Chains A and B, each alone.
Chain A
Amino acid sequence: MKDLFPDTADELEIGEIAYQDTMIDTVNAIIKKYDHNPTRLMDILIDTQSEFGYIPPPIVAQISRTLNISIVDIEQTLSFYHFFSAKPTGKYTIYLNNSVIANMMGREEVARTLEREAGCKFGDVSADGLIGLFSTSCIGMSDQEPAALINGKVFTRLTPFRVKEIIRDLKAGKRLDEAVVEGLGDGANAQPEIRSMVQNNIRKKGPILADGYKAGEALKKIVKMKPEDVIAEVKLSNIRGRGGAGFPTGMKWEICRNAPGEEKYIFCNADEGEPGTFKDRVILTEYPKMLMEGMAVAGYAVGAKKGILYVRYEYTYLQQHLESIIEGGRKKNYLGKNICGKEGFDFDIRIQFGAGAYVCGEESALIESAEGKRGEPRDRPPFPVESGYLEKPTIVNNVETLCSIVKIINHGAPWYRSMGTKESSGTKLLSISGDCKYPGVYEIEWGFSVNDVLEMVGASDVQAVQVGGPSGTLIGPNEFNRTLSYTDLSTGGSLIIFDKRRDLLKDVVMNFLNFFIDESCGSCSTCRNIPVFLRQKLEKILNARGVQKDIEEMLEWSKILKASRCGLGLTAANPVVTSIKNFRSLYDKKIQHGKDYDSNFDMLIAVKESCDAVGRVPQMS
């Protein structure tokens, strides 16, 4: 964890921009841009951070005075998100992904090279203030790891060689975009608004990703329908949310439509924080018009005039692209007033960027964040459909859900239901990563078995598959005949493949536990503590000090997590529980047998620090 709140002025001086009075005007201009609106605090902080590379206490004080909110209110937002910092983070701030996949693809070597070349350790800024090195959770590039963000720009498939070149270029004073020497990615990634080396890697297209989509078709169709009939069509299609939880979309819309109140909101959840997931990024890149059309359809159906597209910070490189699509939509009258000539059908979209927090993908945390606060999930009920953004009825839908709706409107519910299985209609985008020949995005019909998927992606010698990201399930070969569906293996679409070389406990389960520990919002004592206990136990087992009882206790403690407020805590023990269930022998091999207790306590280690402090040699009796 970074020390976000430096105590002394000296600590502030290490960066290339120390606090100066001239910052005041810039910050005032930023605040003005957001109409002095405290609920836009996220945007104000994002702009300030990107302007100066940090947000020092005097600026916090200034924002507090100008917006008339307390310093603590600002600090709690500031300290919550990974990409805000009260200390300078270097002229070039490098965030290297530390997901399990990044590690598998060679992160360690890249990280060590970065440290050597930059001349500082991770968590620090180089002495000249040029480069800051930090780790971050999955940045949505799992099919092209190891990847990093440098001042918001994405660098994929890093190697020690590439890293040396990049740092050399930055030291030589080259601009960041000059450092992208390996060419640009495919499709829209190469367009002037994006100009990124990110690859789409679309491997299999289905009805959602099909070529030949015409923007506006669905809108032209619905303006001839009553909103209730649009909802009826969505209900008939049986579509369920693609964000992971699988709530029936039609029902959600109906509840929101019937909720009292004139002002309603449509949120598109493009937070995509589940490690191993990146299909929403591909939609944002290649099919943003479809997504926005889906939001407008939702607006028409529930009677909302405003939409907010909440995009994770990691995808800010798509900002210009998304904004120009929104602008284009307005010009075509697919957004704005009296859409497609329909009197009273007004709908417009604004983008809200996050600032790095997995939990903000949880719908109520997402809303809190969009209101400028820390992303702490709300107590429910009331659910967002009744009281969401600014306490108004709010729909939150995943990117893919909204795109699927457009196709349902265009081709009809029966068509949609002809795909997939009885309970799980339609198709699903999969984000495939890990040990396979063809990582990328695949659109399949629900009902594919894991075996089918593995064959499709060219995976061999598979030891395990993580279905649904860290919050999902780790399964072994004896379950590869299970099917992807809401009734069997339900998933938001992330499949991470591990072949026989991988150490599932050390590399996978431990990494996932660290992820949940880092990302917990800290509100529930269960979610704040138990994953830490589980990590201690797992460390003990990996150090060959574990006993049978440790495994049993891990399972017992995991049950207590079910008392958590949101999905993060509810699923944080899944890596442990599912690996114990499906790979028990890996644990059994590591524990000591014939021993019922081992404290893992080592007196020499425990007294070292205090003996050093007083100048004394530890004596062991």
Chain B
Amino acid sequence: MERKKTIVATASLAGCFGCHMSLLDIDERILSLIDLVDFNKSPINDIKNFTEYCDIGIIEGSCCNSENVHALKEFRKNCRILISLGECAIMGGVPAMRNGIPIRECIEEAYMNSPSVKGHNPEMILPNDPELPMLLDRVYPCHEIVKIDYFLPGCPPRADLIYSALEALITGNEMKLPYEIVKYD
């Protein structure tokens, strides 16, 4: 086969890895997928840095800290097409449940007041090492940080949806969207 393989990169930002699990859920089709694609930077193969410009970047999770923002911007720079995968990436999802609460309150709850830390942090230390990512005032969906080309909804999106989206992008054929793969209740 002469055709150059499509290069795919993936990342999990503020997410639960459930979307990546769903990606693996395409079962034996992963074999035919491997025929079509090479994975670059991704938790699937543990490649930490981009080694070449990619065709497709898949993002799970939203942006809750400066590191997420940085990673997402890297993906935008290194991928021709960027996909928001799943509710967290698209809307903020579960992490965004903190959005109604001032970040100061969240931090105090986590390190000073919640039952699991109360009494165990007598000096009331709040983590502020320069090495740590800085928390954002709220959790941002990916498209509010960089331009996103496609959105695959679901929590997680069904494996069939992910597979048919990738297949469509790679082959250039129209995506199959039967009712079952975009119905949620």
Contact = CB atoms under 8 A, between A and B. Distances in A.
Given A599-B145, A599-B146, A621-B70, A607 B126 contact: no
Given A596-B147, A599-B145, A610 B134 contact: yes
Given A613-B126, A614-B107, A614-B127, A601 B137 contact: no
Contact of A611 (B69, B134, B144): B134
A580 B134 CA distance: 39
Contacts of A610: 103-104, 107, 134-137
B75 to A, nearest CB: 14
Interface string A580-621: 000000000000000011011101011111111111101101
Interface in B15-52: none
A601 B142 CA distance: 11
Contact of A613 (B69, B70, B107, B145): B107
B114 interface: no
Nearest to B129: A616
B121 interface: no
A615 B145 contact: no
B143 to A, nearest CB: 8
A616 B136 contact: no
Contacts of B126: 613-615
Nearest to B135: A610
Contacts of A603: 66, 69
Contacts of B104: 609-610, 612-613
Contacts of B144: 599-601
A597 B142 CA distance: 13
A619 B138 CA distance: 18
B107 A616 contact: no
Nearest to A607: B134
B40 to A, nearest CB: 23
Given A597-B147, A599-B144, A609-B137, A615 B128 contact: yes
Contacts of A605: 137
Contacts of B134: 607, 610-611, 616, 618-619
Given A614-B126, A614-B128, A619-B130, A607 B146 contact: no
B87 to A, nearest CB: 16
Nearest to B148: A597
B102 interface: yes
B160 to A, nearest CB: 27
B47 to A, nearest CB: 22
Contact of B137 (A596, A606, A621): A606
The residue among A606, A607, A618 with the most chain B CB atoms within 10 A of its own CB is: A606
B128 A606 contact: no
B147 A607 contact: no
Interface string B110-144: 00000000000000001110100011111010001
Contact of A601 (B103, B108, B130, B145): B145
Tell me which of A599, A608, A610, A611 has the highest count of chain B C-beta atoms within 10 A of its own C-beta.
A610
Contacts of A613: 103-104, 107-108, 126
Contacts of A612: 104
Q: Which of A608, A613, A618, A621 has the most CB of B within 10 A?
A: A613
Interface string A120-153: 0000000000000000000000000000000000
Nearest to A536: B144
Given A603-B66, A609-B103, A621-B70, A616 B128 contact: yes
Contacts of A596: 147
Contacts of A608: 137
A605 B135 CA distance: 11
A613 B103 CA distance: 8
A621 B70 CA distance: 9
A412 to B, nearest CB: 59
Contact of B136 (A599, A606, A615, A621): A606
A599 B145 CA distance: 5
Contacts of A607: 66, 134-137
Contacts of B130: 616, 619
A64 B134 CA distance: 48
Nearest to A620: B66
Nearest to B102: A609
Contacts of B103: 609-610, 613
Contacts of B136: 606-607, 610
B140 to A, nearest CB: 7
Nearest to A611: B134
Nearest to A612: B104
A603 B69 CA distance: 9
Contacts of B102: 609
Contacts of A614: 107, 126-128
Contacts of B135: 607, 610
Nearest to A615: B128
Nearest to B143: A599
A610 B104 CA distance: 6
Contacts of A621: 70
A608 B145 CA distance: 17
Contacts of A616: 128, 130, 134
A611 B147 CA distance: 27
Nearest to B69: A603
A619 B132 CA distance: 11
A78 B47 CA distance: 58
B138 to A, nearest CB: 8
B141 to A, nearest CB: 11
Interface in B48-76: 66, 69-70
Which of A597, A614, A615: most chain B Cβ within 10 A? A614
Contacts of B108: 613
Nearest to B126: A614
Nearest to B105: A613
Interface string A184-211: 0000000000000000000000000000
B52 to A, nearest CB: 23
Q: Choose among A599, A600, A605, A612 the residue with the greatest number of B CB atoms under 10 Å from its CB.
A: A599
A606 to B, nearest CB: 4
Nearest to A619: B130
B128 A601 contact: no
Interface string B139-182: 01000111100000000000000000000000000000000000
Nearest to A613: B104
Contacts of B127: 614
A612 B128 CA distance: 10
Contacts of A609: 102-104, 137
A490 to B, nearest CB: 38
Given A607-B134, A613-B103, 7 more contacts: A597-B147, A599-B144, A605-B137, A607-B135, A608-B137, A610-B134, A611-B134
7 contacts: A597-B147, A599-B144, A601-B144, A603-B69, A613-B108, A614-B127, A619-B130
Interface of B: 66, 69-70, 102-104, 107-108, 126-128, 130, 134-138, 140, 144-147
Interface of A: 596-597, 599-601, 603, 605-616, 618-619, 621
- Ordered nearest first, which 6 A-B pairs have the shortest CB separation? A597-B147, A610-B135, A616-B128, A614-B128, A613-B104, A607-B134
